[in-house]
Structure 1
Amino acid sequence: MLETPNDPVLEALPEHPDFLWRNPEPKRSYDVVVVGAGGHGLATAHYLARNHGITSVAVLEKGWLAGGNMARNTTIIRSNYLWDESAGIYEHALKLWEGLEEDLGYPILFSQRGVLNLAHSLQDVRDSVRRVEANRLNGVDAEWLSPDEVKKVCPIVNTSQEIRYPVLGATYQPRAGIAKHDYVAWGFARRADEAGVDLIQDCEVTGFTTDGGRVTGVRTTRGDIAAGKVALCAAGHTSVLTDMLGFRVPVQSHPLQALVSELLEPVHPTVVMSNAVHVYVSQAHKGELVMGAGIDSYNGYGQRGAFHVIERQMAAAVELFPVFARAHLLRTWGGIVDVTPDASPIVGRTPYENVYLNCGWGTGGFKATPGVGWCMAHTIAHGEPHPLNAPFTLERFVTGALVDEHGAAAVAH
């Protein structure tokens, strides 16, 4: 579906995304099999071909291409994380985002409208200023704004000191923003397909064949496929796959709910996030308000919205944005996020010498898409981690070298 009726860039797109890639039958063997055709799986395939010349690649998807979390996220892109390790991989991703339309030859509607993280208490202020200084040390653009400066960036935010959670200031990353998630997936799929990668939909992995410390193939609903290397990029369903392989990962899967409003005239110029009130809001290119909440407290695979969450989100949004009080809810949904104990991802090797793991991104997966695809492709091609994903090994949960990003990732985003 086109975003607006009179945009010449969008009118140049095919009417249906299936025109952008083949739907081949799976071959009997590939050098690399990627499980999961979401953003991370597609980006990994693209960079395997683009950066390393590896094109004997199949990307397997149990449903339809990019129909999981890629279709269900809230599209926020930023790199203002606290720790050096996190800032490194997210900033690498942001730099790739800035040139991604040219690389893919496809419009992704990347809009660098900035992201505000509001502070509502003195502890919020201390933590936020600390993060701004850490970002600057890592070369990440970051500013601390007073309530009056917040009002200048986003005039519709309620900065009154009389409300339940008054705004005491905010961090601001000007280069942050949003992109059109479907177009991002289609762009990666198109380029991967052009390079010779097979994108195989309706192909669920049901098991693996092994020989000692190696995986020799993947069992699927469309037959067995031999594989030289296997990359698991299945987000919330990663633990299902690793159970088949006989090893456990410290990941829990939770539903994460979000919603959009009816179409509105442009009124919200940036992205606003709040941990205390716990809502985050942006305005999509068509005009709907995109809002998200925190992850559900229970484990599960439900992809539905729930009224009690909608009610809390609406109350939080109206407190921060009184102008939204008469807006109507259009639709609500849930995605499945995979959460690790330190709120940081797992990217790298596994107990099997030719199986690689990419999971645990929690609520931060979309913004990392090009960066983790780049690093994952390097890791697969060389058999060793890229320097940017080296800190995010599975072994850190044994050694204790955790990358605790609960502060920067406390609000789902």
Structure 2
Amino acid sequence: MSDAEWPRTWRRHDLADTYDVIIIGGGVHGLATAYYLAANHGITNVAVLEKSYIGSGGSGRNTAILRSNYLTPEGVRFYDRSVKLYEHLAADLNFNVMFSQRGHMTLAHNDSSLRTMRWRAEVNKRQGVDSDVIGPDEVKDLVPHMDTSPYARYPILGALYHPPGGIVRHDAVVWGYARGADTHGVHIHQKTTVTGIDVDGGKVTGVQTDRGRISAPVVVNCTAGWSTLISDMAGVEMPVQTFPLQAAVTEPVKPFLNTVVVSGTLHVYVSQTDRGELVFGASVDPFASYSIRGSLEFTEGLGGHVLELMPALSKMRLLRQWAGLCDMTPDYSPIMGPTGVDGFYVDVGWGTYGFKAGPVSGEAMAACIADGRPPEIISAFGIDRFTDGRLVGEKGAAAVGH
């Protein structure tokens, strides 16, 4: 088959004058919301507006780790639903998203961390999530290259092990949702920048773009990095700060790492792709910025911490590094649902953990828009919690990216 005969994964459309729903942001959250609006609720007159290309933002710049071993009951239930959706997403979309449930291990290097791991394990179990604390010997069995000796600079006292966790191919998830949404009639508009949001009498009436005005009674902000700028266009303030998050990848080697490894103390996580590369990451940079340039300081710190965990990796070569933008809220939980402007919805504030929440966020936001009220699974994440003092504190389980 020649290149000319390959069918398009999603179609090009002329920009219509009006839609029932406009979604700003062509990443996994925006596309999943569009897909579930059409597939679950029959709302197909939907436009997804992306200023660059589909998946060009956080959805294409993350390390694609999935898990549900969070700290709060609200967070655990929410992310567990997402993992469940990911488990059969390939079949639902008829698109191989390459989900590999290889397990997720969070190391404890001191007594305080070990207590937190036991706390998280009990919260997880109460919500029916497979998660338990294991000792150094079990850590060594799962990751033979790990230095679990008592003479390590940061001795490993145990770990929170979460078998359902794993990795997925982020590009495939984006493409699968885009194709699924397109099949149901959703219009996907790339290279379309939103320049303003029209509000009349406290109600959304449409958006302004660099290709003209579009009217719509519902507008959804599904952006990352730029979420505050978009919300400001509608007159909605967001308690969000944007920070860069860097990651790096090595040359491919024979597969040897069969689980995701995270150390909160060292601010590092590592997994191995199906092609054999090691993907590394750390916590967000310590300053608010819109820069996505890599830094030598990050590479040196990351490399040193990885070698403290697995000294045998010292000869591996780092091929490239990159950065993305993370929107951090005060309680490390997202902001989802309606706002004070009628018809303006938000699905923002995802910090370093937005990709793993893509399916459940899309499903829940679609239900919120169709039914006119937030479903129970996201009711704790409303923007009014910041004025009512009902914070959902996830820093203990989300402060390190994955």
Q: Does residue 46 of the first structure (1) align with residue 35 of the second (2)?
A: yes
- Which residue identity lines up with residue 250 of structure 1 in the other structure? P
Residue by residue over 1:143-178, the C-alpha shift from the partner in whole angstroms, topping out at 9 and shown as x without a partner, is 110000011111111111111111000001101100
Separation (CA, whole Å) in 2 of partners of 1:315 and 1:71: 26
Name structure 2 gaps, 5 residues minimum.
Answer: none
Q: Does residue 388 of the first structure (1) align with residue 377 of the second (2)?
A: yes
1:302 deviates by 1.1
Separation (CA, whole Å) in 2 of partners of 1:102 and 1:15: 27
Alignment-derived partner of residue 62 in structure 1:
51
Q: Does residue 251 of the first structure (1) align with residue 240 of the second (2)?
A: yes
Select which of 270, 279, 284 maps to 1:295: 284
8 Å contact from structure 1 (residues 115, 271) kept in 2: yes
The within-5 A match list for 1:62-81 is: 62-81=51-70
8 Å contact from structure 1 (residues 17, 186) kept in 2: no
What TM-score does the superposition give when structure 2 sets the normalisation length? 0.98
Separation (CA, whole Å) in 2 of partners of 1:267 and 1:184: 25
Which deviates further from its counterpart, 154-163 or 399-408? 154-163
Residue by residue over 1:333-363, the C-alpha shift from the partner in whole angstroms, topping out at 9 and shown as x without a partner, is 1000000000000001111110100111101
Alignment-derived partner of residue 205 in structure 1:
194
Separation (CA, whole Å) in 2 of partners of 1:18 and 1:279: 41
Alignment-derived partner of residue 95 in structure 2:
106
Q: Does residue 376 of the first structure (1) align with residue 362 of the second (2)?
A: no
Separation (CA, whole Å) in 1 of partners of 2:304 and 2:361: 35
Q: Does residue 140 of the first structure (1) align with residue 129 of the second (2)?
A: yes
Q: Does residue 86 of the first structure (1) align with residue 68 of the second (2)?
A: no
Residue by residue over 1:178-209, the C-alpha shift from the partner in whole angstroms, topping out at 9 and shown as x without a partner, is 00000000000000001000000000100011
Alignment-derived partner of residue 213 in structure 2:
224
8 Å contact from structure 1 (residues 42, 59) kept in 2: yes
RMSD: 1.4
8 Å contact from structure 1 (residues 318, 325) kept in 2: yes
Q: Does residue 282 of the first structure (1) align with residue 265 of the second (2)?
A: no
Separation (CA, whole Å) in 2 of partners of 1:247 and 1:353: 11
Q: Are the structure 2 counterparts of residues 15 and 148 from structure 1 closer, same or farther at C-alpha, using a change threshold of 3 Å?
A: farther
Alignment-derived partner of residue 22 in structure 2:
33
Select which of 239, 244, 251 maps to 1:262: 251
Residue by residue over 1:41-78, the C-alpha shift from the partner in whole angstroms, topping out at 9 and shown as x without a partner, is 00000100111010000000000001100110000000
1:16 deviates by 11
Residue by residue over 1:117-164, the C-alpha shift from the partner in whole angstroms, topping out at 9 and shown as x without a partner, is 000000011110111011000111101100000111111111111111
What TM-score does the superposition give when structure 1 sets the normalisation length? 0.95
Percent identity at matched positions?
A: 47
Separation (CA, whole Å) in 2 of partners of 1:19 and 1:321: 44
3-state SS in 1 of match to 2:56: coil
Alignment-derived partner of residue 297 in structure 2:
308
Q: Does residue 339 of the first structure (1) align with residue 328 of the second (2)?
A: yes
Q: Does residue 318 of the first structure (1) align with residue 307 of the second (2)?
A: yes
Separation (CA, whole Å) in 1 of partners of 2:365 and 2:157: 40
Q: Are the structure 2 counterparts of residues 265 and 16 from structure 1 closer, same or farther at C-alpha, using a change threshold of 3 Å?
A: farther
Residue by residue over 1:24-44, the C-alpha shift from the partner in whole angstroms, topping out at 9 and shown as x without a partner, is 221111000000000100000
3-state SS in 1 of match to 2:177: helix
Aligned length: 401
Q: Does residue 153 of the first structure (1) align with residue 153 of the second (2)?
A: no
3-state SS in 1 of match to 2:398: coil
1:297 deviates by 1.2
Name structure 1 gaps, 5 residues minimum.
Answer: 1-11
Separation (CA, whole Å) in 2 of partners of 1:16 and 1:177: 35
Q: Are the structure 2 counterparts of residues 120 and 15 from structure 1 closer, same or farther at C-alpha, using a change threshold of 3 Å?
A: farther
1:19 deviates by 2.1
Alignment-derived partner of residue 405 in structure 1:
394
3-state SS in 2 of match to 1:263: coil
Separation (CA, whole Å) in 1 of partners of 2:124 and 2:398: 15
3-state SS in 2 of match to 1:388: helix
Separation (CA, whole Å) in 2 of partners of 1:113 and 1:18: 33
Q: Are the structure 2 counterparts of residues 62 and 265 from structure 1 closer, same or farther at C-alpha, using a change threshold of 3 Å?
A: same
Q: Are the structure 2 counterparts of residues 311 and 16 from structure 1 closer, same or farther at C-alpha, using a change threshold of 3 Å?
A: farther
